[in-house]
């Protein structure tokens, strides 16, 4: 059981970090183990990289501090070697980092080169996407990473109850659509043809950060969009190709889309107004954002909807 | 009323999920046999504690809950004749397992409203989520809007009236009772139903396994007109009737007592 949420402002930037935190915290009962965000700030000519060098529960202990520092230095060295000009590197936790760089090269080569550093996992890459995820509930993670001050146009979030895998970052959502910039997904459900699609996408050169079925959706959509399909068309294709029960929310640099499987087995509530669209597993999350009685609805089976910034 | 009623008076378990103890709210206004309170700052446990104490202990027969704020599991398991009014939208599992209350909801509801309701009336002024009236056994459930998927799944009795559309698998494995859908129905209507009747005023996207058009009788007209009149729903539209084709689950060879056992 997990909770997902998404918000998109069609009239400019807002406190999307704080908004998603309020929505996700109201669904804490659906998953207190980890919380993740994919938020979009104003795009500029810098590439934003979010990466971790260790799992939170393995980030302390004998020699760990020195190892993290050594690996961080190695990441910066590799950025320089691959031709990136590093603008900033900051860390809120000692194991999770945010870097901004000037880089016009191949993002896949960059991600692969960085992930060759021991313990390094690139959470997101893009001109405006930032994926932040950690253990604990939304207020805990938001406080750690100062998400309360994040302003942007749109974002998605996820609270996770670990039922079949570890309580760790690798299993936490959202998933970045490696190696495609600025695409991320959160998902509630189970995909029953995960291994089939994973093999198929791996044959196309994709690699996966986790054993989680949700990651397939992100890579699947990005693969189809890289062939020239719109997000909406790619999402409609996914309803035919992906088996199982699922509801997912996908974001790109300027869009937010939702899709429900043909059985409508997983919940999602939608609130739509001219300036704001909000979606969430439960209406309680909508109420945490819009603190008044509003008209909402449950999208039906095989429904795909996309909104632009 | 004793207790602080503030959130600071509430304790949670280590993961912050379960609320094992709570104080009775102190913002309840009582006027004879009527009471009302604002649920904005109350927890689920506090709201239900207040409802139960007012209805069972204090002789209150008419309770208004203001601002339920989409909180889950409100007014569950009330087994006494009374009136409960929600001014605003409850969340999931509202009014489950009730036996007797007349509930009005001036808002929308989340999944599984009135699940396993045994008797009474639940009237919802706006839309509802999926699993509306799941396993309902009796009473009337009226939704003045659209509902999600699997309405009346495993329905064992009672009447569900939806003035808007319904989603996929409505009436799945329905065993008794009636569903009156005023507009359109999604795919697999009445799939694997055992018995009962489903009336649809609009289009049916597809019928489920063993769900077939049924013969219209005077009793059908009388039922629909009576329900619409009782609940103030205006003039009913024209309906098509759908029933079980008796090809999948056929209990006609069983004795009445055996039928009852199977259905229960």
Q: Which domains does chain A have, with CATH numbers?
A: 2-38+140-308 (3.60.20.10), 44-127 (3.30.70.60)
CA distance A254 to chain B (A): 29
CB pairs under 8 A between A and B: 69
CB contact (8 A) between residue A298 and residue B71: no
Mean pLDDT computed over every residue of chain A: 93
Whether residues B49 and B155 share a domain: the answer is no
CA distance A215 to chain B (A): 27
Contact criterion met (CB below 8 Å) for A300 and A264: yes
Q: Which of B91, B119, B140 is at the close of a domain?
A: B91
ipTM comes to 0.84
Mean pLDDT, residues A154-181 taken together: 88
Whether residues B31 and B143 share a domain: the answer is no
The helices-and-strands tally (H runs, E runs) of chain B is: 3, 12
Residue at B67 is within a domain: yes
Residue at B100 is within a domain: no
Q: Which of B46, B72, B91 is at the close of a domain?
A: B91
Residue at B109 is within a domain: no
Whether residues B193 and B77 share a domain: the answer is no
Interface test with chain B among A31, A138, A283, A290, by most B beta carbons within 10 Å? A283
Whether residues B39 and B165 share a domain: the answer is no
Task: State the pLDDT at residue A166.
Answer: 80
Question: How many beta carbons lie within 10 A of that of residue A12, not counting itself?
Answer: 10
Residues of A with Cβ-Cβ distance to B89 under 8 angstroms: 283, 287, 293
Task: Give the pairing type, strands B140-143 and B119-124.
Answer: parallel
Instruction: Say how far apart CA A132 and CA A157 lie, in whole Å.
Output: 9
Q: What percent of chain B has pLDDT over 90?
A: 84
Residue at B40 is within a domain: yes
CB contact (8 A) between residue A282 and residue B91: yes
Interface test with chain A among B12, B13, B17, B191, by most A beta carbons within 10 Å? B17
- Of how many residues is chain A composed? 309
Q: What percent of chain A has pLDDT over 70?
A: 100
Whether residues B79 and B201 share a domain: the answer is no
Confidence of residue B5 (pLDDT cuts 50, 70, 90): very low
Distance linking the first and last C-alpha atoms of chain B: 42
Catalytic residues of A: 2
pTM here? 0.90
Whether residues B70 and B179 share a domain: the answer is no
Residue at B115 is within a domain: no
CA distance B110 to chain A (A): 7
Contact criterion met (CB below 8 Å) for A285 and A26: yes
Residues of B with Cβ-Cβ distance to A301 under 8 angstroms: 149, 167-168, 186-187
B167 touches chain A (CB under 8 A): yes
Q: Which residue of A has its CA nearest to B185?
A: A300
Domain that holds residue B179: 127-264
Q: Which of B45, B66, B91 is at the close of a domain?
A: B91
CB contact (8 A) between residue A301 and residue B130: no
Residue at B3 is within a domain: yes
Tens digits of per-residue pLDDT, B34-66? 999 999 999 999 999 999 999 999 999 999 999
Whether residues B187 and B239 share a domain: the answer is yes
pLDDT greater than 50 at residue B4: no
Instruction: Say how far apart CA B84 and CA B37 lie, in whole Å.
Output: 12
Confidence of residue B16 (pLDDT cuts 50, 70, 90): low
* B173-182, long-range: CB < 8 A, 24+ apart: B174/B198, B175/B263, B176/B263, B177/B136, B177/B152, B178/B223, B179/B151, B179/B152, B179/B155, B180/B224, B180/B227, B180/B236, B180/B239, B181/B151, B182/B236, B182/B237
Whether residues B86 and B133 share a domain: the answer is no
pLDDT greater than 70 at residue B252: no
Q: Which residue has the tokens 């860390």?
A: A91
User: In terms of Cα–Cα distance, which of A59, A110, A52 is closest to A86?
Assistant: A110
B71 touches chain A (CB under 8 A): yes
Whether residues B133 and B252 share a domain: the answer is yes
Whether residues B150 and B27 share a domain: the answer is no
Tens digits of per-residue pLDDT, A38-63? 999 988 889 999 999 998 888 888 88
Whether residues B50 and B153 share a domain: the answer is no
Task: State the pLDDT at residue B3.
Answer: 35
Whether residues B165 and B58 share a domain: the answer is no
Instruction: Say how far apart CA B262 and CA B264 lie, in whole Å.
Output: 5
Q: How many domains does chain B have?
A: 2
Confidence of residue A230 (pLDDT cuts 50, 70, 90): very high
Instruction: Say how far apart CA A255 and CA B219 lie, in whole Å.
Output: 53
User: What is the sign of the dihedral through the CA atoms of A129, A135, A138 and A141?
Assistant: negative
């Amino acid at each position: 059981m997990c909770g997902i949420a998404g918000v998109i402002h069609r009239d400019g930037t807002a406190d999307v970090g704080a908004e998603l935190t309020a929505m996700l915290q109201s669904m804490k009962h659906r998953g207190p183990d980890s919380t993740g965000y994919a938020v979009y700030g104003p795009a500029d000519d810098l590439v934003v990289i979010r990466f971790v060098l260790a799992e939170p529960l393995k980030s302390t202990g004998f020699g760990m501090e020195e190892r993290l520092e050594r690996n961080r230095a190695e990441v910066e060295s590799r950025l320089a070697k691959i031709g990136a000009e590093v603008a900033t590197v900051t860390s809120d936790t000692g194991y999770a980092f945010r870097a901004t760089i000037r880089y016009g090269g191949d993002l896949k080569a960059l991600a692969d080169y960085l992930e060759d550093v021991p313990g390094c996992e690139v959470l997101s890459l893009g001109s405006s996407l930032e994926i932040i995820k950690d253990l604990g509930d939304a207020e805990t993670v938001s406080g750690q990473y100062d998400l309360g001050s994040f302003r942007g146009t749109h974002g998605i979030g996820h609270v996770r109850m670990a039922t079949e895998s570890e309580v760790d970052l690798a299993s936490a959502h959202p998933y970045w659509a490696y190696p495609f910039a600025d695409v991320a997904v959160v998902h509630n459900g189970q995909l029953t043809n995960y291994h089939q699609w994973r093999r198929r996408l791996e044959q196309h050169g994709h690699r996966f950060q986790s054993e989680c079925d949700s990651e397939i959706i992100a890579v699947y959509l990005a693969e189809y969009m890289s062939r020239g399909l719109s997000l909406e068309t790619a999402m409609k294709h996914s309803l035919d190709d992906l088996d199982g029960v699922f509801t997912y929310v996908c974001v790109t640099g300027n869009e937010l889309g939702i899709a429900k499987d043909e059985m409508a087995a997983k919940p999602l509530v939608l609130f739509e107004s001219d300036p704001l669209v909000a979606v969430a597993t439960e209406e309680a999350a909508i109420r945490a954002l819009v603190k008044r009685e509003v008209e909402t609805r449950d999208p039906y089976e095989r429904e795909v909807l996309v909104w632009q910034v | 009323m004793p207790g602080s009623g503030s959130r600071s008076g509430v304790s949670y378990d280590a993961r912050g999920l379960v609320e094992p103890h709570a104080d009775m709210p102190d913002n309840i206004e009582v006027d004879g046999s009527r009471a009302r309170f604002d649920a904005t700052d109350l927890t689920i446990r506090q709201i239900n504690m207040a409802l139960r104490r007012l209805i069972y202990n204090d002789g209150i027969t008419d309770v208004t809950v203001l601002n339920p704020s989409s909180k889950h599991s409100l007014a569950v398991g009330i087994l006494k004749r009374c009136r409960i009014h929600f001014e605003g939208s409850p969340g999931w599992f509202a009014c489950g397992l009730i036996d007797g209350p007349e509930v009005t909801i001036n808002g929308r509801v989340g999944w599984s409203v009135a699940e396993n309701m045994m008797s009474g009336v639940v009237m919802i002024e706006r839309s509802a989520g999926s699993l509306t009236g799941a396993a309902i056994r009796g009473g009337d459930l009226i939704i003045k809007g659209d509902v999600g998927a699997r309405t009346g799944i495993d329905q064992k009795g009672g009447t569900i009236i939806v003035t808007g559309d319904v989603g996929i698998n409505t009436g799945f494995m329905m065993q008794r009772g009636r569903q009156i859908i005023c507009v359109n129905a999604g795919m697999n209507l009445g799939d694997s139903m055992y018995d009962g009747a489903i009336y649809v005023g609009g289009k049916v996207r597809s019928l489920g396994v063993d769900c077939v058009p049924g013969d219209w009788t005077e009793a059908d007209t009388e039922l629909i007109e009576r329900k619409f009149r009782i609940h103030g729903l205006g003039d009913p539209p024209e309906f098509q009737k759908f029933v079980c084709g008796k090809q999948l689950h056929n209990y006609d060879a069983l004795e009445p007592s055996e039928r009852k056992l199977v259905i229960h």
